[in-house]
Structure 1
Amino acid sequence: MTQTIEIKALDTATFHAVPPAPGHNGQHSITTHMPGWDMMLEFTKKQPEFFAKFVDMYPRFIPHKDIKKLTGAVLKHLKAEGQFCLFFPRYEVAVACINFVTAEKRTDGLDSVPKDVMSIRAFEFQSRVHAVFFPMDKMRLVMPFWTFAGVGISSRLGVECLENMNLLKELSDVTVAPKDSDSTSHQLLRQRIANLLERAPAGPPRKEKISKDDVYLYQTGMAAIYYIHNLLGKWKNNSNSKTVMFGLPFHQTIHVFEYWGPGVRFLPLGTEIDELQSFLKSEAAAGTPVQAVWTEFQSNPLLVSSDLKKLRELADQYKFALVVDDTIGSFANVDVLGVADLVVTSLTKSFSGYADVMGGSAAVSPSSRIYLELKPLLEKDYHDDLFSGDAEIFLKNSEDYLSRTTILNNNAAALVKWLHDLTKDPKSSVKRVYYPTVSPTLENYNVYKRATTTDFTPGYGCLFSIELDSVEATIAFYNNLHVHHGPHLGAHRTLALPYVKALYIDELEKVKPMGLEETQLRISVGLEDTDELIETFKYALTFSDAAGKEN
């Protein structure tokens, strides 16, 4: 006899973080809980009054509360009334911020900030940081750099600075370099990533194995994308060489390609091979060969697996760099190192798994035909800006990466199977489910799924999307789906988000040809009991099914 599980609304306070896992410090949480459809609609309006209510939030969207405290303490110490500042790890990053927001014609379409109201100041606590100062009323115009580039300091570095305010000293030379952050934790973290990238490879063993020296760390996943994209712009030495985004990426990734560089060709379905080939051919004929093709494996949020084998063939033919972001597939499950020139990963997600630290990595494949071209560029331009305290947390969190991934894989697969079966029931409000196991691109994924070992059976990741049969049903389902509501994926708790409605609210008709619908919800499963999760979804479906009948 199946035990009935009582479904209760969560007791997590609105605008507060998902409760931390046992043994983890919630101070550095990178999540927030925004329960209900109406709350999400308020979020899309981007009103300062609404954002001021957040106690916790993803720190690229809104600076972490400890960064805010540091800002307040420094401004008070300097008696800088009417000013605000953003903290960066190096002078060069602060300069990049000013250059972006003061450009005569900003690539993000916002008004330029006058250069004479902005300044850079360098401070030393225990660590060295650089701050960009500007009038408080210009914050809306400066924050996009923090959000999209993802290169601000972390909350743990902010706390270290706060704890050492008594040591605060302003440096006369604002160009002074930071102290070396390449700690033992950084070296161990690089080695762990390298080991995982070579673990149980898909296909034949590679002649050249990746080493820790081929792995580069960044303070966020977006920072890894930002820096690698800019690096590839220098590689071609052609200021007109564009980037291609093949398949749907995380919403802000495409903006990095639009805001920095000569432009991007966006092929959102991830299946437009013929169109890609035509574009590559025309750009090469025009003397502006494409510098890079990026793809997420799988795509976000529709979980399409692009044909990496074909992309590799085109990369060899047209001499571009193939960059694969394996964040959603996760390198526990998929091995793309043998086909990609560069593998970019948001370590913030399932690698960390506990939603309390941010970071990213980029790995250059020693098997790549352009390895000897890319490696010197990376060595010349790279700076390890990942705070040592964050590297230590990544090491701790990732100790159970494989065992956690097993639970995430199993929970997602079970929910997807159950929901997909409902799509065959005409009485159900479930219209479609998006996940590799029910995707027409499944075979593309399976080619790069890692081999099974005695300690781990690879799967298909923690993320899926569900599409309901009407907006009314979607709202009813979401409002009664008693999991946490908010951005992020790969956490220890399940998170739901009306991803399309939240991020494309003003472009809903424009994105429909991409397969995106406002009736879709993105789900990142957590480590909860599988039966409990199914009962939670079943409960929500009673409301969406009823909403469908009423209409």
Structure 2
Amino acid sequence: MCLPTWKAVLGYEEGRDKVIRRMRIGYPRFFRHPLVDRLTTAASEEIGGEGDAVLVFPSKLAAQRAQRWIERRGEVAVRSVGFHGMQALAVPIKAKQVAIDYQRFTGELVSSRQAEDFLNGTVRSGDKNHLLQRRLGKIAGVEPKQVTVFNSGMAAITAVLRSLPGVKEGRKTLQIEFPYVDALKIQELFGNGVVFLNQASGESFDEALSRIRKGEFAAVFTEAPSNPLLRTIDLPQVAAACADGGVPLIVDDSAVGPSNVSVIRWADVVTTSLTKWLSGAGDVMAGMVAVREDSPFAGPLLEGLAEESAASSPLYIGDAEVLLSNLKGYPARMAMPNANGLALAQLLAGHPGVADVWHPSLITRENYDKIKAPRGGYGPLLSFALKNPRKAPKVFDSLQVCKGPSFGTPFTLACPYTLLAHFHELDWADACGVPSHLIRVSCGSEETDGLLARFSAALEHA
């Protein structure tokens, strides 16, 4: 899918029919895949009643949790019905958006491949978890038994939250650094609340470290580096505070991938969206959790994560096979996107029309270098903002690259990130240092000179 202009992005966010009706596909947690739509129609015809919206879940446990959440927040009664090995919920139409939001936040979806096999009468059982654990363990630097696989990156993060002993005891979590939007939302909605520290500096950061040492939080969550600002906290410093306070440290490395940063030395848990750089093709969704073997929380976390993966958000065997195939080129194929990211960051930083560039090579580099993998680079993901925000739409519209959400594809992908991720909270995002005219770029494997030329041409409008 492509949202090629600034106006198209606004139209999508505002739900304008002339944009929505032309879209055939979108990011799966936000836009129902056509095959999943056909599966849902089949479920509606079989179990739906008048005035019901039907959603299909990959497992009974996922549906049961969704049912409780929807009933509580939507103040409605929801029916749960088994559906050919899956589970369907019939939701009163007034609570449809509540149900859609639940699947968006948790990532507990039926994949398009599973839907296709169902429609063709060829649904398969079993999994490829042992093969994935072996392959991913080598990439993450842990034993295979320390790896758990899920059907999406958000499902992996949600499973970690549910498995934390401190959450079960009623404690809040702490989020350090501005994160990907839904990573913060799930802590707000499915935990006991979250304390949010936008930037790891100053008196607020010192206070947070003190509170961590006192064991106040159920866990500390952060990204290394963050998305979309690509900032990196002083991970060894935070890890030491967590060790003192007996607080698990959860680090997500999705922005640059585990070939570029190695954080398992400091983190108790590392979450990774396999949908992005590790797959590298944009054609499969999955997530993983790696638990450090000598973490004091390893036992209860691994037990909880195994149950979550098997009973709540399993990775469908057809998706696992595609992921295994895609992983064969990793991490060698990261060299070209890394080089493009570095070159583009330097180009943008030197342009007179650009106000800010966020890339690990340019910001909090000292902290990033502490966690950079021995053969890693500074990553293909970056963001920038123009000195004149009014010129951002023209620059974006004239930029000759693919345009849309997500990152980690073999081709360069750009989007007005803040509009897509924070459209209904733009003032809040701006107050956090994430301007509405920010453009995020995921560099692909194109020839560098040609890629830079395309950005230079677009920047003539800056």
- The verdict on a shared fold, with TM-score over 0.5 as the criterion, is yes
* 1:414 aligned residue: 343
Instruction: Write the distance in 1 (CA, Å) between the matches of 2:393 and 2:133.
Output: 43
* 1:263 aligned residue: 193
Indicate yes or no: 2:218 matched with 1:291: yes
* 1:19 aligned residue: none
Q: How many residues align?
A: 460
SS of the aligned residue for 2:229 comes to: coil
* 1:391 aligned residue: 320
* Structure 1 moving runs of 4+ over 6 Å: none
* 1:26 aligned residue: none
Task: Select which of 143, 168, 188 maps to 1:211.
Answer: 143
Task: Select which of 357, 361, 364 maps to 1:437.
Answer: 361
Change (3 A) 1:375 1:72: closer
Which of the pair has more CA radius of gyration?
A: 1
Letter in 2 for 1:312: A
SS of the aligned residue for 1:87 comes to: strand
- Residues 283-322 of structure 1: pairs in structure 2 closer than 5 A: 289-322=216-249
SS of the aligned residue for 1:133 comes to: strand
Letter in 2 for 1:225: I
SS of the aligned residue for 1:488 comes to: coil
CA displacement at 1:542 relative to structure 2: 1.2
* 2:118 aligned residue: 161
Unaligned runs of 5+ in 2: none
Task: Select which of 447, 451, 456 maps to 1:538.
Answer: 456
CA displacement at 1:401 relative to structure 2: 1.6
CA displacement at 1:278 relative to structure 2: 2.4
- Residues 114-125 of structure 1: pairs in structure 2 closer than 5 A: 114-115=76-77, 118-124=78-84
Letter in 1 for 2:452: I
| TM-score normalized with structure 1 length | 0.79
Instruction: Write the distance in 2 (CA, Å) between the matches of 1:540 and 1:231.
Output: 47
* 1:509 aligned residue: 427
CA displacement at 1:376 relative to structure 2: 3.5
Letter in 2 for 1:161: F
Task: Select which of 408, 411, 415 maps to 1:490.
Answer: 408
CA contact under 8 A between 1:463 and 1:523: conserved in structure 2? yes
SS of the aligned residue for 1:253 comes to: helix
CA displacement at 1:543 relative to structure 2: 1.7
SS of the aligned residue for 2:342 comes to: helix
| TM-score normalized with structure 2 length | 0.94
Q: Which string of whole-angstrom CA distances, capped at 9 and with x for unpartnered residues, describes residues 398-417 of structure 1?
A: 11122321111011111111
Q: Which string of whole-angstrom CA distances, capped at 9 and with x for unpartnered residues, describes residues 6-28 of structure 1?
A: xxxxxxxxxxxxxxxxxxxxxxx
Looking at secondary structure, tell me which structure has more helix per residue.
2
Indicate yes or no: 2:101 matched with 1:139: no
Change (3 A) 1:151 1:396: same
CA contact under 8 A between 2:166 and 2:217: conserved in structure 1? no
Instruction: Write the distance in 2 (CA, Å) between the matches of 1:215 and 1:451.
Output: 22
Change (3 A) 1:79 1:523: closer
* 1:89 aligned residue: 58
CA contact under 8 A between 1:242 and 1:291: conserved in structure 2? yes
Tell me whether 86-95 or 129-138 shows the greater mean CA deviation. Answer: 129-138
- Residues 144-293 of structure 1: pairs in structure 2 closer than 5 A: 144-164=101-121, 181=126, 183=127, 185-198=128-141, 210-232=142-164, 234-235=165-166, 237-239=168-170, 241-271=171-201, 274-279=203-208, 281=210, 289-293=216-220
Change (3 A) 1:49 1:101: farther
Q: Which string of whole-angstrom CA distances, capped at 9 and with x for unpartnered residues, describes residues 264-297 of structure 1?
A: 011112335x424524645887xx8201001101
Instruction: Write the distance in 1 (CA, Å) between the matches of 2:211 and 2:371.
Output: 30
Q: Which string of whole-angstrom CA distances, capped at 9 and with x for unpartnered residues, describes residues 42-71 of structure 1?
A: 122245775344201001002211000111
Q: Which string of whole-angstrom CA distances, capped at 9 and with x for unpartnered residues, describes residues 229-280 of structure 1?
A: 1111x456421x11011011111111101101211011112335x4245246
Instruction: Write the distance in 2 (CA, Å) between the matches of 1:149 and 1:515.
Output: 26
Instruction: Write the distance in 2 (CA, Å) between the matches of 1:147 and 1:410.
Output: 33
Query: Identity rate of aligned residues, in percent?
Result: 29
SS of the aligned residue for 1:437 comes to: coil
CA displacement at 1:505 relative to structure 2: 3.5
CA contact under 8 A between 2:212 and 2:241: conserved in structure 1? no
Unaligned runs of 5+ in 1: 1-31, 107-111, 168-178, 199-209, 423-427, 453-457, 545-551
CA displacement at 1:484 relative to structure 2: 1.5
